[in-house]
């Protein structure tokens, strides 16, 4: 019963969005950034993150670049052109989903707030 049982499927969107803003990030950095942005509410586990990154790379949405920093290897990810297109698409999908959820959960609410 972890805190986030709802992330299913939105991890990819989170990754793509963060890379749209940051140009270049490595895995561990992503986990920390998400923790920071959500005040610890959402914790990306490494077991979920790394396979997700590998999959996005295999799909051609991300490219990698290895860097040495203090005897430590960092694998930086950045968006490809396909990846850049996919961000908008994924964000629109998420927005549509949230709005639909609002209509179910919050009936009698006309204006589209948030997002």
Please report, as ranges, the residues that interact with DNA according to CB under 7 A.
1-2, 4-5, 7-12, 26-29, 32, 43-48, 50-55, 69-76
Least distance in Å: CB of 65 to DNA? 10
Return the one option of DNA, its own copies, none that residue 1 interacts with (CB less than 5 to 8 A, by type).
DNA
| Cβ nearer to DNA, comparing 4 with 38 | 4
The bridge status of strand 25-26 relative to strand 62-69 is unpaired
- State which residue, 34 or 52, has the beta carbon closest to its own copies: 34
Q: From the list its own copies, DNA, none, which binds 93 (C-beta under 5 to 8 Å, kind-based)?
A: its own copies
The alpha helices in the chain, defined as continuous H runs, are 11-22, 27-37, 46-58, 81-105
- For the bound state, the minimum distance from the C-beta of residue 1 to DNA, rounded and expressed in Å, comes to 7
Cα distances (Å, whole numbers) of residue 64 to 27, 43, 56, 67, 93 = 11, 23, 11, 10, 26
Q: Single out the residue of 67, 68, 87 nearest to residue 77, CA to CA.
A: 67
- The count of other CB atoms within 10 Å of the CB of residue 102 is 15
- State the minimum distance, in angstroms, from the CB of residue 34 to DNA: 11
Q: Closest approach of Cβ 52 to DNA, in Å? A: 5
């Amino acid at each position: 019963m972890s805190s986030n049982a709802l992330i299913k499927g939105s991890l990819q969107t989170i990754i793509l969005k963060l890379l749209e803003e940051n140009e270049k990030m490595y895995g561990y950095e992503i986990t920390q950034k998400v923790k920071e942005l959500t005040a610890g509410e959402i914790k990306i586990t490494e077991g979920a993150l790394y396979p997700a990154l590998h999959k996005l790379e295999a799909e051609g949405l991300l490219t990698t670049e290895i860097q040495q920093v203090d005897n430590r290897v960092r694998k930086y990810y950045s968006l490809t052109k396909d990846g850049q297109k996919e961000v908008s698409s994924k964000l629109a999908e998420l927005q549509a989903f949230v709005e639909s959820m609002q209509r179910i959960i919050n009936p009698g609410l006309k204006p589209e707030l948030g997002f």
